[in-house]
Amino acid sequence: MVITLSDNEREATWRKEVRSFIDSEAPAALKAAGDEGGENSLFGRLGAIKEWREKVAAKGWIAPSWPKRFGGADMTVAEQFIMNEEFAESGVPGNLGGFGVMMIGPTIIEHGTEEQKEEHLTKILKGEVIWCQGYSEPGAGSDLASLQTRAVRDGDDYVINGQKIWTTGAQFADMMYMLVRTDPDAPKHRGITYLLVNMKAPGVTVRPLTMLSGAQGFNEVFFEDVRVPVKNRIGEENRGWYVGTTTLDFERSSIGSAIGVRKQLESIIRQAKSGGEASFSRNPNVKREFADRWIEAEVAKMLSYRVVSMQVRGQIPNHEASMCKLFSSEMSQRIANLSMHLFGMHGNVRNRASNGYMQAVSSTIAGGTTEVQKGIIATRGLGLPRG
């Protein structure tokens, strides 16, 4: 069997179209290296992202995997992968629809009623509603099925009490899609229901969490007698676990992450060559680290290609996707270490290296911990017994 990494004629034509669109339409502020800092790298970039989103939306590419009848682009797996790869290579944002396009939109398409599709899908595509995900709880992270946030049926409403944690962007969200326990006596994977909750409803309290880096990307969310209409339930009562595991055509190859870490390396190399507080002269041995990290970035890219090649053949990546996630997240931490070594003692002050180092701590926790990924690889990939 001959294996090739090159595009076929159709894929090459599509790649050229995507690249041409980026070259001609992407704002300069997004394609810049981003090392300069200053006003343009913050306020100017935010304006550029808004402009870019409008252009991508006009192209019909905001929801590449959605069927066209729901406003998507109905792209094949290969087309989505190529678009994601080209966006990542150019440094322009690719996921412009957030959780709305990636997660809840496809779930509504698969399991929602016609009324729910009518109410939510167009708003998601237009970016009129910001969504967050209510899954993790203080006692239910990797073991999500142990969640305890309760929803009790009361006429035409559910009444929710409990807490979610590590909720990304909850302080900005208009709506949350969440898993709640509606039958406490059922086995833990059963008795769970999938609800859509208005974040402005009485009884919802959001408390931002300050991370080691000082950023506040995650939140605690508390629910005290929050009433949610039954019509906001997706799928059947007590069958929410199976609704929540809907994947459809979600991005699992991590190609954006694989290219992102390589571009991090390129940025660090530019800094090192320019002199200043980050320099090869401070630690000559760091050059060997650069070589190792560069090789790892190429390995991450190959792991991504493996996943997408399975998807193209109609297969569902399982432990292969876990390998991508595990390798890329641990590599991002090693790159953060590399940056600290390059800066030397200057890395002890609050600068780019130290901020990146602190932010990288969560990479092996978010999206499934390293321990969980290793368990999946061991049992489903290597056939080892569960410990």
- In the predicted model, is pLDDT for residue 41 greater than 80? no
Closest to 172 in 3D by CA, of 132, 134, 123: 132
At residue 37, the pLDDT reads 40
d(CA 328, CA 81): 17
Dihedral sign computed on CA atoms, order 15, 17, 20, 25 = negative
Are β-strands 233-234 and 192-198 bridged in parallel, bridged antiparallel, or unpaired? antiparallel
Query: Percent of the chain having pLDDT more than 70?
Result: 90
CATH topology of domain 255-381: Butyryl-CoA Dehydrogenase, subunit A; domain 3 (1.20.140)
| pLDDT-wise least confident of 70-84, 95-109, 340-354, 362-376 | 340-354
pLDDT-based confidence at residue 285 (cuts at 50, 70, 90):
confident
CATH assignment, 130-243? 2.40.110.10
* Mean per-residue pLDDT, 91-120: 91
Closest to 261 in 3D by CA, of 360, 167, 172: 360
- Two tokens, residue 224: 């005290």
At residue 38, the pLDDT reads 38
Q: Pick the residue with more confidence: 31 or 289?
A: 289
What is the amino acid identity at position 258? Answer: A
Domain residue extents for the chain: 9-96, 130-243, 255-381
- In the predicted model, is pLDDT for residue 36 greater than 60? no
CA–chain centroid gap for 369, Å, is 14
At residue 262, the pLDDT reads 86
- In the predicted model, is pLDDT for residue 157 greater than 80? yes
- Two tokens, residue 71: 């406003």
- The answer to whether 329 and 369 are in contact (CB under 8 A) is no
Residue 11 backbone phi and psi in degrees, to 5: -65, -40
**Tell me: the pLDDT tens digits for 8-17?**
899 999 999 9
d(CA 150, CA 154): 13
- In the predicted model, is pLDDT for residue 165 greater than 60? yes
Average pLDDT score, the chain: 87
Q: Pick the residue with more confidence: 160 or 370?
A: 160
Catalytic (active-site) positions: 251
- In the predicted model, is pLDDT for residue 34 greater than 80? no
At residue 248, the pLDDT reads 40
Question: Would you tell me which CATH number, out of the four given (2.60.40.10, 1.20.1080.10, 1.10.10.10, 1.10.540.10), belongs to the domain 9-96?
Answer: 1.10.540.10
Give CA separation, 123 vs 95, 100, 111, 174, 207, in Å. Answer: 16, 9, 18, 11, 26
Q: Pick the residue with more confidence: 227 or 77?
A: 227
At residue 278, the pLDDT reads 62
d(CA 291, CA 159): 56
